Amino acid sequence: MIENFGTRLGWFLLGFVVSAGFFSFEVKAQSDADYFWTFSEIRSDTNSDNTLDYFGEEVSITGIANIETGLLHEHYLQAFVQNDSAGMSVFAMEIETPFGIGDSIVATGKIERYNGLAEVHIDSYRVFKTSSPIKVRSLSEVIESPQDYLGMLAEGEGKIIEKGSTFNGKYVRISTEGSSKSMMVYVSNFHSLYDQFDFDVLGVGDRISVKGIITEYNPEFPKERTFKLFLRTPEDLTFRGIPQFYLYLIAAASAMLIIVVVGWVISLKRSVNAKTKTIQANLEQKEVLLREIHHRVKNSLAIVSGLIHLQEGNTESREAKRVLQDTQARIQSVALVHEKLYKTESLSEIKLNTYIKDLVEAIHKTFTDYKEAVELKFEMEEVLLETERVIPCGLLINELVVNAYKHAFNKNKRGELRIRLKQIGDDIVLIVSDNGPGLPSGFDQSDDESLGAILINSFASRLKAGVQVNNREVGGAEYIFKFPSGKTAD
């Protein structure tokens, strides 16, 4: 009874100590199952012949699980337990009681080797749900002497210097800053989450953060022996910065986008150029047609003017002759606009100064009796005016000039007809003056009911022009017209 009570008390205290996370047991007798073996004793090989000193011995161990069951194999119990100074691989043919990271484990089994690794092939184990803290070593510390930290968790950052695969897994090799050594970061193809470890995006030169269990690779082949950091879950590997794989994808996508955009721009440019050429060709064709129309209109008006001239020659009435001459002058004024249009580059605007000069000189030639008696003087700036506004402006000038020849000049007296044109801001100022006898006292242009006055007022209104009529101090009449130069004036 006392022995049974003592045994039960011993197991109770063991459970309490293990559950509290204390693993400071010393081995007093290696053959006594009541004592826990240290992991260094299990790995001992005093003569360095690659044969464990206690191979096949039945031992008891305890530690904290740093990986949960079911990850490295769905059915077999393959896991690692550790304490503050070392760790050990444990294996069983089946998972009796699942455990998670931080659980305390007490196990009994034989010392075996698996692929050269020392491990305990356990016969029985107990799990204490303690969530005990696990000591995690720094990778920069472990990489200098990894054999001292087998079975323990380690974490740190490094740069990938190699990437590859083996017959039973895939790996990258990393180097840490300040160390000349490297560490293999490895995933076994037996891992239940093997496909979720996306090593395809990893590339040489990438910086990564890793966390995993330190173990050996090919320990039975000294020339190929190396140490590795065994990843537990995909979360044990994270990127620092952007992986080169993604940079290449971004670069490739950017290049493809640039190619597509450039191709689209070139295609659009070709399409625009083609349409522009078509539009330009249509415009040129329309300009040719418009010039031809203006030419034909000018010719038609010339025919009409010629017919009026013939009619004038067959008319005895002086009044009828005067009316026919005035009509002919007006027709010639309109014809001159069309002549300018088909001879100039622009079909929308005409140089008003050139048109006025040609018009006044043409009218001057029709008054043969005054050719020598009247001197024409022009003071005109270059002014552009829309085509549709040139015609009323020309007809206005025609009326003023013809009126001057009729009333201001005498063929026996020297006369002067002065035309001034200038642009002041957005306004055009046109001044027609003579040195004749001037206007009657009290003359009011708005009250004049003659045909010439009516036409002058009508054409001025078309131009939205302000009209000012004065007698000059030196003698003669002066007409001043001020009208806007822009298209908004219409």
Q: What is the pLDDT of residues 194-225, one digit of tens each?
A: 889 888 888 898 899 999 999 987 655 556 67
CA dihedral 382→386→391→393, nearest 10 degrees, is: -50
Report d(CA 422, CA 418) in Å as an integer: 13
Asked if pLDDT for residue 168 goes beyond 50, the answer is yes
- Residue 191: its pLDDT value, please? 87
Contact 337, 394 (CB under 8 A): yes
Q: Binning pLDDT at 50, 70 and 90, where does residue 294 land?
A: low
Q: Count Cβ atoms below 10 Å from residue 222 Cβ, excluding itself.
A: 8
Nearest CA among 107, 34, 15, 39 for reference residue 69: 107
- Cβ-based neighbours of 125, under 8 Å, separated by 6 or more: 90, 92, 96, 97, 105, 106, 107, 108
Give the per-residue SS3 of the chain.
Answer: CHHHHHHHHHHHHHHHHHHCCCCCCCCCCCCCCCCCCCHHHHCCCCCCCCCCCCCCCEEEEEEEECCCCCCCCCCCEEEEEECCCCEEEEEECCCCCCCCCCCEEEEEEEEEEECCEEEEEEEEEEEECCCCCCCEEEHHHHCCCHHHHCCCEEEEEEEEEEEEEECCEEEEEEECCCCCCEEEEEEECCCCCHHHCCHHHCCCCCEEEEEEEEEEECCCCHHHCEEEEEECCHHHEEEECCCHHHHHHHHHHHHHHHHHHHHHHHHHHHHHHHHHHHHHHHHHHHHHHHHHHHHHHHHHHHHHHHHHHHHHHCCCCHHHHHHHHHHHHHHHHHHHHHHHHHHCCCCCEEEHHHHHHHHHHHHHHHCHHHCCCEEEEEEECCCEEEHHHHHHHHHHHHHHHHHHHHHCCCCCCCEEEEEEEEEECCEEEEEEEECCCCCCCCCCHHHCCCHHHHHHHHHHHHCCCEEEEEECCCCCEEEEEEEECCHHHC
Length of the chain (residues): 490
Mean pLDDT of 434-459: 78
User: Is the per-residue pLDDT at 42 higher than 50?
Assistant: yes
pLDDT-derived band of residue 355, with 50, 70 and 90 as boundaries?
Answer: confident
Which whole number is the average pLDDT over 299-325? 76
Place 319 in a pLDDT band, splitting at 50, 70 and 90.
confident
3-state secondary structure 67-110: CCCCCCCCCCEEEEEECCCCEEEEEECCCCCCCCCCCEEEEEEE
Cβ neighbours, 10 Å, residue 132: 20
Confidence band (pLDDT; 50, 70, 90) for 6? very low
Residue 28 burial (CB count, 10 A):
8
Question: Poorest-confidence range of 71-80, 241-250, 281-290?
Answer: 281-290
pTM above 0.85?
Answer: no
Q: In this structure, are strands 182-188 and 226-231 parallel, antiparallel, or unpaired? A: parallel
Measure the CA angle with vertex 418, ends 414 and 421; round to 5°. Answer: 175
Q: Does the structure show a pLDDT above 50 at 186?
A: yes
Confidence band for 446, pLDDT divided at 50, 70 and 90: low
How many whole angstroms separate alpha carbon 118 and alpha carbon 112?
A: 6
Pairwise CA distance, residues 32 & 29, whole Å: 5
Token pair for residue 480? 């001043």
CA distances from 431 to 63, 203, 327, 442 (A): 114, 86, 23, 21
Res. 488: pLDDT tops 50: no
Band of residue 476 on the pLDDT scale cut at 50, 70, 90? confident
Select from 310, 200, 189, 283 the least CA-distant residue to 246: 200
Least confident of 71-75, 172-176, 193-197, 255-259: 71-75
- Count other Cβ atoms within 10 Å, centred on residue 70: 17
pLDDT-based confidence at residue 29 (cuts at 50, 70, 90): very low
101-124 confidence digits (pLDDT tens): 999 999 999 999 887 788 999 999
